[in-house]
Amino acid sequence: MKKLVSLWLCLLTLSFTAYANDLPNFVDIVKEHGASVVNISTTQLIKAQNQFNGMPDIPDQEMFDFFHHFMPQLPQAPNNGNGEIPLHSSGSGFIISSDGYILTNAHVVEGADEVTVKLTDRREFKAKIIGSDTRSDIALIKINATNLPVAPIGNPQQLQVGEWVIAIGSPFGFENSVTAGIVSAKGRSLPDENYVPFIQTDVAVNPGNSGGPLFNMKGQVVGINSQIFSRSGGYMGVSFAIPIDVAMQVADQLKAYGTVKRGRLGLVVQEVSAGTARAFGMAKPEGALVSQVDSKGPAAQAGIKPGDVILKFNGEAVNRSIDLPRLVANAKPGSTARIEIWRNRKPLVVTAVLGEVPARKTVQGKTATSAIAPDKIGLIVSDLPHREQSGTDGILVERSDNAAANAGIIAGDIILGVDNTPVHSVAQFNALLSRLAKNSTLALLIKRGKTTLYIPLQAD
């Protein structure tokens, strides 16, 4: 009997050992490349009378409301005596060159008056913002240092769903924390994110992980942790990373020009469904269905019409509608593009001279907005850049806090009106707010994606 028990225990031990040996081991990756990950802290000076009151609870809204950048607001410091209060935030980043260039998220350094980088050896450096691109959420910063450890860059195109990946960052300020998971999906399209085919993972990321690297099992960076899906503001099992090839293309332009130049066709597209494909006489659902064309844009001048299906752009297949904005954006403005389309049940080729997507102006590393602090209802807003959204009027919500956030207004919303008054500019919007009585209730007409709705809120 004792021999049988001993044999059983031996077999159990061997089985457990074999199982343990099959589990991934991240120790070597962290030892070798952990030092290339940095903590980034920022300071922004805001007017004392308009200070933030902390992060609001996330309202329970439709699914696309829950995609959030996840950089926390840390406790505020006392008034500096100049009528300003320093607002401190933190995030993550990683070194891409030994002479001090660092990649992070644009929202980590947005609006910062001072950026500090802390290395794993506890050295701290003041960083300069080389450039920031809000459309891809990528920023390039630089510190004056040499012989720094560099994170190796991988190829996200080779990533497979189900593959193990790890994140290193500073969640809640806990520097160089390591979490692991798998690739859940690739090429995800998020609301109002047209240029980035996100990598979805189940790696635990939280406030402070923004800008940190996503490593594959070869110890190569394949993405930058950027957003989460959450009803609570914290990790809920779904996180998103910007593919590193997209980030490096942006970084190269930021380093060379300080901004990003993107090609523009001037049209709106949607997915091709199975029913649409049958109706159009297509063998299978593929491509990007043109639903709207800017009458003065490059697409219109090339003869592209609503109802056309774009199948290829410069020889690259457009399998889904999300592929087209990325391909067009990566093309050089002013270049001639060869576009294969499906029209009247047959293929057709047209050429278009690409325009340029207007860049959002920046001043000393700050995104140019109408104000540096929330207004009386808790909003930071800006005029729509060249009214790109198919001629849509209104103003863009850059940030939502306090009463506005509690009412359910989120960054990316477009404010079309206050009560029954249409809004055309930030100046007009501020003028309307200035006439509000204290504790009055107003209704904001909001455009969110393809939905238009009224949101009531009470002004302070």
The answer to whether 80 touches 239, Cβ cutoff 8 Å, is: no
Of 33, 92, 132, 137, the catalytic one is 137
Q: How would you classify residue 221: left for phi > 0, otherwise alpha for psi between -120 and 50, otherwise beta?
A: beta
Q: HSE of 131 in the Cβ direction (CA atoms, 13 Å)?
A: 21
What's the CA gap between 384 and 394, in Å, rounded?
7
**73 DSSP 8-state letter:** B
- Per the residue annotation, which of 33, 36, 41, 107 is the catalytic one? 107
Instruction: Let me know if 192 is a catalytic residue.
Output: no
For residues 343, 349, 355 and 357, what is the CA-based torsion angle, rounded to 10 degrees?
A: 60
User: How deeply is 224 buried, as exposed, middle or buried, from its count of CB atoms within 10 A (0-12, 13-18, 19+)?
Assistant: buried
User: Known catalytic residue: 132?
Assistant: no
Note the residue count of the chain. 460
Task: Give the pairing of strands 114-118 and 124-133.
Answer: antiparallel
**CB proximity list for 27: less than 8 A, separation 6 or greater:** none
By three-state DSSP, how is residue 430 classified? helix
Number of C-beta neighbours around residue 106 at 10 A: 25
Among residues 177, 210, 230, 400, which one is catalytic?
A: 210
Candidates 372, 376, 369, 373; CA nearest to 457 is: 376
* DSSP 8-state code for residue 231: S
CA–CA gap between residue 90 and residue 2 (Å, rounded): 60
Strand pairing report for 138-142 and 101-104: antiparallel
Active-site residues, by number, are: 107, 137, 210
